[in-house]
Structure 1
Amino acid sequence: MNPFVSIEDVKSLFRDLSFSEEKKATELLCVVSDCLRYEAHKRGKNLDKMIEKKEIYENVVKSVCVDIIARNLLTSTENEPMTQISESAMGYSMSGTFLVPGGGLFIKKSELARLGITRQKIGVIDFYGND
């Protein structure tokens, strides 16, 4: 299947890429698109049909794809991708929070919500029943 974005979309919405980044981003175009299709399919939705029905929706999908690809490109592969680190001295202590704990590609719940794939559910539990 075709990716939702092109490498030109990534460059225009994110930034110019180095040669190695462009190569990686090109590979990620189909991977990210198929991951989003799979997430939608798991929830009984067809992302391609959702795009066909709404003109504006195509740009939302494009934005989410570029965000995921950009986050993946910003993840360091040469050293530890820590977002937060703290150190101590005499008692020697060090702790940190990794950007991608499991490594690889991940999609945030907020991104799935932007696509309309996940929604909050409203429910009521009737403790007393009907009289």
Structure 2
Amino acid sequence: MGSRTAKPQAASERVVTTVRLEPALHAELAALGELEHASFNQVVEAGMRHYVQHRRDVLEQRLERALKALRARPKGGDFDAAIARLVEAEATLGDADPAQGRLGQRPTDARARSIGDKGLAARVRSLMAAG
């Protein structure tokens, strides 16, 4: 996705973004707009909002389950240190964390694998193994 951005001067201004779509998807979005009496932009924006919310939910749920699993483990001498490492790993996401305190659904295994070794799932697994 390419992006052309201008510095917004007011809250109501929008960022212009160029997105390449397959012709079939473009046609479906246009048809939805016609059926719902909405502009193409409104349909795309609603779809993107839905996607972002879904991803936030998935990531938040993954973290909640990991914390629950950590808390359910027998408490040993290193349990608190494992929790501290998990918190530190979460904190490294900083402003890039798309979940931002929202709850959601559990991710699919395929999505968890696609994040890669440096992803949250790998960090949680390594912290649980260390705990």
What is the TM-score of this pair, normalised by structure 1? 0.30
Which is richer in helix? 2
